[in-house]
Every structure is written in structure tokens, then in C-alpha cells.
Structure 1
């Protein structure tokens, strides 16, 4: 079949062979695949190599075709002829590229506008996005994270797929803006029913133990200040209260959420 592809600053017409389609792990849609052969002068080989290398799946910048964008799923080349420069023959396998940048995310009946978004496959579908809100929706989102953070929800990625995917919360960072709103970098994971469960977290359980100790020390300082203000001196009862408050204890979900706060959300990417 005739095939158009924008390469080396020009639209090139070549013959291509249709290959069996593949099912997208992101959307469940069938993605076209083609193979083609492209000949260029050897003095343009390096330039073409850079352009093709920048379009390699899954994270490359797609090549523009006629009505379709393409990622490179396979590539090899060889030199032919004895002239100077030689002719370089490139054999490419291309796969149809998808738009995987959601414009909004729905978690159950909660609608969230998205300012940045990325998703990838790491054994399961993982979605990371940034949202900002100072409205009732933000309060509802915080309650979902705190009260129901271990549950799975129907998640729709508007602009990617209208088919709900069952996902749960992963990392949930937040940053307070100058206006008092909250910017959040949320990660959702579609691993419901996965037999092996989630992989162990880095530096655990040490990190969790450290977090518990910090919260306990903070609470102890609060109690100490209150006692000093009300009594003027530390009585035995007050000392016992400080020691009791400083003892490590299992954190509530609400207490743990304070350690997901950052002063610069952009450092963590999408």
C-alpha cells in the first residue's frame, strides 16, 4: 500500500505492508502496525538515525503520517552499493501512536481538572497527574485519600478513554499555593486482583518507623508547651504526660498525610 511519512523535513511516499494490529494496554483499542523500507543517501544516515531514535516507543515523539502518528517499534539498516556516499536502506516497523494525555480525571463521581498528566505500563496501568483546587471537590478528594485510600474506584481519563478502569491511590503528594489552594500530584494504580500484590516500598519499614517517631516528638512538644503554659513548672503528672505523648505509636491515615506534603510539587514530575 502507498504510505506517507514525514522524515528529514519532507513528506516521503513509500510502499508499506500492513502487519497484524495489537491491542493497546492503555485503552484496549486496536492499534495499526506497518512495515516499510526506506532508502537514503549514506551522508544523511546519521540525521535519519537521530530522527528515528527519537520516535522509538513507548516514550518517543511520534512521526507524522497522513492522518496518523507513528512510533517506531522496530528498526534495522544496511549499506548497499559501492559509490560515495553509499545508499543506506532502513527497514522500519511502525505502530500507531495514541494520545495519552488526559484533560480531566474522574474518580467515581468526583471530576478533577488536570494541568499535567502521564501514564505508563509497569506490569499494570499507572496514571500520574497534577490537579489544583480550592473548592468542595478538593475537600472531597482529601476525604477519599484519608478515609478510603485503600479502596478501588472507577477512574475515567477524559481525552484518553471513556471506559472506566478500576484503580486505587498510590503516592499522593500535595503543596499549598500562595492563594491557599492545594496542588496535588496523584498516582493511581490499576492492580486490583493482581495475585502477587504490590512490590515492597523502598526503605521500608525504616521510613515508616522514622515517620512515627517524628509525629510522636511533635505531639510531645505540643503537650509540653501546654503544660508549661498552664502550670508554670513541670509536675510529675506533666512529665508523665510528656513521656506518654513521645512514645511511638501507629499513625492514623490523617497523620501520615502530612508527610506527603511538598513545597515544590514540580520536583517530582508527572
Structure 2
């Protein structure tokens, strides 16, 4: 039984991946900041598989390291890491940007990914096997006005994914960078600081991707033949041509 470690598992893409993996019988380590939500998800998934939950904030390295160190012995041998936790805050030009928003994005999307990855990479290197999937964004492919810092943080994820692949291929570790386009999740609610009405307009007039679509893609990646290493994947809804261009009805 393979063990998968999933960050940002309490909602959206992370939750969908956890549910997908549970159906396949993976042993799961689900992580998030909202402890009550995490425990409810654990109860749901435990019907299908073994589950361990870790409540921590990826932006706080001491919490991250302590949480991973606290894993029960049977969960310590991690085969798959899904770096999904991340955020977008605000849609402002740099000149008017909120520096707290910048910190939240850089700390969560970049430093948080590194904090989680380092101890798990050590485990995988020791085992000479493993797979890391980093959830980036099509925003890394094309910078857009008023979202420059978010785009930069996701470009950094692309670079880290490439760097991990260069450093880890000799140890039998696969690394994949997944770039989703518009996915109808809580993402926009966070970006607009809880403004549900404003967030809903992001997905009006077209059929946006669903979290399950990304989970299906991730499932394919982890179940590909051992000889296959999928390096980079961009996935758009049919109506989206690039990050800034969506054709609405």
C-alpha cells in the first residue's frame, strides 16, 4: 500500500485528490490548517483506507517539521507528495498592492512548498523512490496585470519543480509540475477575501474545470507505468485559451 501526503486537503483540489486516492486504497496523510474540517474529512475517508491527519500552516516551518516528525511509524514511509497548499490574495497592481498579501502568497506558495518538501525528499532519497507532484498554475505561463505577485509565486513553483527533477532523478524520484487553469473552487473566494458574489463572477458564462478534473489528472500521473515520468502538464477548461482569455457565453 502506497502512502500519499497531501497538503491543502481540506477543500478544492486537495480534497478531491484525497477522495480519489482513498477510493484507490492509498494510505493517506491529509494536511490543512482547519482542524475541524480536516477531522471531518478524515472520518469520511477512513471508511475506505487508513488516514492520518496533520493540522499545520505550511508557512510556519517549525509547525511543518514538527508535524512531519510526529507521524506514526506506519505513515512515515511516504511514497507520494502532493504539494497543493497555496493561495492568491487580491487583484491589485504592484503600486497599490497590500504587502501582507504578498507575504501570504510568497510564504505559502513558495516557502511553504519548500518547508514540506525538504523532510519528505530526505525520506524518498533514502528509499531511492517516490513521486512529487507540485500544483502550480497557468499563471506561471503568462503573467497578467494586477496578479503579478501571484504569477511570480507560481513561476517559482515551476522553477522548484524543474530543480527537484534535476536533483532527484538519479534517486529514482519522479517530479511533475501541474498547471491548472480556471478551476471552480474556493480559490477566488480567498482571492477576494470572502466576497462570494465577486468570486462567483469569475466562473460565470463558461464551464470551468472542477477539482475532480485535476484529481483525475493527478491519478493518471501517479498510476503511469514506472518507466514514465510526466514532467509538466497544463490543463485548461475548453473555454480558456490562456490565463487572461476566457470565452464566455
Per the normalisation by structure 2, the TM-score is: 0.23
Identify, as 1 or 2, the structure richer in helix: 2
Identify, as 1 or 2, the structure richer in strand: 1
Which has the bigger relative contact order, CA under 8 A and spacing at least 6? 2
